[in-house]
């Protein structure tokens, strides 16, 4: 007769007789009573209310001027002109005038804004070549296939930079002026460098190098994106060190926005000379705009924003309002629980009926 292996008994898979495996470790099981829960609710309501009021006062301490220039004033002519694709190479300039009633104190930031422009589409975000932007020369002449259909031009030359993100670079330019009491126009100095993240400027974006060759020679054999007016190596005529893939405007644009309505930093007020040492004085201002970026194809809008910032950021009321609403809801729940406890559970008699 063949040997029959003994089957394990019912106790063979029993866990070890230890405090951990037998769940005999000491534990704290709080008793949730009205005397402990209700004070916690009131404390959380008070805490949320204090945070909401504090953040709301912080946000309201910022100053902001927002102006839509899509079809405002003389920009209406440029808007109509940009409807025709054949006018893409033509320049169009317009002016926007506004008044600041109260002086902007401290650092002032100049933003441009777009509405209904969806930078968060997956195919749009993937249409780029990060290896090319980091300065790899092999990718400069042979871009990634992710860039299609913005990989080469009609002559087969590789685009630098390639992809839909770079091709749609916002190319309006602005010049801010202050109209003093004497009627003389004073240019407002804006810092156009140092507006990017440090990691972007020094790590994620680098220009390709090839010995002692100039940047123009390195980019030789490539083409500029289809809707660009200047090649990458000559984006900034006034500052040769701000050209190529390390151009600040390009880097700011390449960091895609999460929402269809967004604003991006264009410049920061340079506060070294009068009358701008303390910020922007009250008075009349004008913005000269080089109107290049068309928005009618996606039913968008364009705007310029002048604002001051705090440690919390700009004028965003979402978080303060969220704290205040949460405080009201928690307080309402606490009051309802208190009334229920006083009526039904304070002496314990009504709970037994």
DSSP assignment of 227-288, as one string? T-SS-GGGS-SS-GGG-GGG-HHHHHHHS--SSSSEEEEEEEE-TTSTTSSSEEPSEEEEEE
- Percent of the chain exceeding pLDDT 70 equals 94
Q: What value does the mean pLDDT take over residues 330-335?
A: 96
Domain contains 198: yes
Query: Of the spans 114-118, 133-137, 241-245, which averages the highest pLDDT?
Result: 114-118
Q: Could you give the residue ranges of the DSSP H alpha helices within the chain?
A: 34-60, 75-81, 122-126, 130-133, 137-141, 164-167, 198-199, 215-218, 248-254, 318-340
Indicate the pTM of the whole model: 0.82
Determine the pLDDT at residue 5: 57
Residues 228 and 263 in one domain: yes
* Cβ atoms of residues 250 and 113 within 8 Å: no
Model confidence band, residue 351 (pLDDT cutoffs 50, 70, 90): very low
Residues 44 and 142 in one domain: no
Domain contains 27: no
Query: Of the spans 35-39, 115-119, 227-231, 295-299, which averages the highest pLDDT?
Result: 115-119
Residues 57 and 172 in one domain: no
Residues 301 and 330 in one domain: no
Domain contains 124: yes
Q: How far apart are CA 350 and CA 279, in angstroms?
A: 67
Mean pLDDT score of the chain: 89
Q: How far apart are CA 136 and CA 138, in angstroms?
A: 6
User: Residues with Cβ < 8 Å from 145, sequence gap 6 or more?
Assistant: 151
Residues 45 and 85 in one domain: no
List the domain range (segments joined by +) for residue 50: 36-62+317-340
β-pairing verdict for 173-179 and 109-115: unpaired
Domain contains 233: yes
Residues 249 and 238 in one domain: yes
At residue 19, the 3 state secondary structure works out as: coil
Domain total for the chain?
2
Domain contains 300: yes
Residues 84 and 207 in one domain: yes
Model confidence band, residue 297 (pLDDT cutoffs 50, 70, 90): confident
Domain contains 345: no
Phi, psi of 222 (to 5 degrees): -115, 165
Domain contains 160: yes
Model confidence band, residue 352 (pLDDT cutoffs 50, 70, 90): very low
Q: What value does the mean pLDDT take over residues 59-85?
A: 90
Residues 147 and 285 in one domain: yes
Residues 185 and 138 in one domain: yes
Residues 161 and 236 in one domain: yes
Res 138 pLDDT > 60: yes
Domain contains 276: yes
Residues 75 and 86 in one domain: yes
Expressed in angstroms, the distance from the first to the final Cα of the chain is: 71
Residues 334 and 240 in one domain: no
Determine the pLDDT at residue 6: 56
């Amino acid at each position: 007769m063949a040997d029959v292996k003994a089957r394990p008994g019912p106790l063979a898979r029993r866990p070890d007789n230890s405090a951990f495996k037998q769940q005999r470790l000491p534990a704290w099981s709080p008793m949730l009573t009205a005397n402990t829960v209700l004070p916690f609710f009131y404390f959380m309501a008070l805490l949320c209310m204090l945070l909401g009021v504090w953040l709301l006062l912080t946000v309201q301490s910022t100053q902001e001027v927002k102006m839509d220039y899509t079809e405002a004033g003389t920009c209406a002519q440029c808007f109509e002109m940009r409807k025709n694709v054949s006018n893409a190479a033509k320049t169009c300039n317009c002016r926007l005038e506004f008044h600041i009633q109260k002086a902007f104190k401290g650092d002032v930031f100049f933003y441009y804004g777009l509405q209904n422009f969806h930078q968060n589409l997956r195919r749009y975000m993937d249409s780029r070549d990060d290896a090319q932007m980091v300065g790899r020369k092999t990718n400069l002449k042979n871009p990634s296939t992710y860039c299609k259909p913005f990989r080469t031009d009609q002559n087969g030359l590789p685009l630098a930079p390639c992809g839909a993100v770079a091709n749609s670079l916002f190319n309006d330019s602005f010049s801010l002026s202050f109209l003093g009491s004497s009627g003389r126009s004073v240019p407002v100095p804006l810092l156009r460098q140092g507006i990017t993240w440090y990691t972007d400027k020094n790590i994620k974006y680098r220009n390709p190098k090839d010995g002692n060759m100039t940047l123009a020679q390195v980019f030789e054999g490539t083409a500029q994106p289809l809707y660009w007016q200047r090649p990458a190596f000559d984006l900034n005529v006034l500052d040769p060190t701000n050209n190529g893939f390390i151009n600040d405007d390009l880097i700011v644009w390449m960091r895609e926005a999460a929402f269809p309505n967004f604003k991006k930093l264009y410049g920061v007020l340079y506060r070294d000379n009068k009358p701008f040492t303390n910020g922007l004085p009250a008075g009349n201002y004008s913005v000269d705009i080089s109107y290049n970026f068309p928005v009618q194809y996606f039913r968008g809008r364009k705007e310029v924003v002048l604002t001051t910032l705090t440690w919390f950021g700009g004028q965003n009321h979402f978080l303060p309002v969220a704290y205040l609403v949460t405080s009201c809801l928690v307080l309402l729940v606490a009051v309802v629980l208190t009334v229920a406890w006083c009526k039904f559970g304070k002496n314990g008699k009504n709970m037994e009926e």
